[in-house]
Amino acid sequence: MKKRAPAEEAEPSGEALPALVEEIAPPAPPPAATRSPSAWAREIFPPSERGRQHPQAFLHGAAAGLHHWKTHEHHAGSPLQLSRADYEAAIEAAKSNAFAPHPAALSPYAGRS
């Protein structure tokens, strides 16, 4: 049996390294749930049991116009992805008479045709 030098004994094996890294680095938080504005609208403004439109579903259309969501979809090729909080803030901005969009819900393509 060959004796190991003290430096070799102190060195951790390759199997122990991942466990050490997990101890040092905390796990990353899960990303915030993002969806398209239409998906949020279906959840927040669901149709009635008889299939009728929710009485406040028009607010989605107002927010879409104010924040240029259709323009974004046209230029980017996919819908804008928003968190629930940003979608709700966009709806609140559409309800107000200030015509000031919620910055996080505004398409970067706003102003383009």
17 in a structural domain: no
Q: pLDDT tens digit string along 28-39?
A: 656 668 999 999
Q: What angle do CA 106, 107, 109 make, to 5 degrees?
A: 140
2 in a structural domain: no
Whole-model pTM: value is: 0.67
39 in a structural domain: yes
Q: What is the pLDDT of residue 99?
A: 77
Domain that holds residue 75: 34-105
47 in a structural domain: yes
Residues of the chain with pLDDT under 50: none
How many structural domains does the chain have? 1
41 in a structural domain: yes
27 in a structural domain: no
11 in a structural domain: no
Q: Max Cα separation, the chain?
A: 85
Q: What is the pLDDT of residue 13?
A: 56
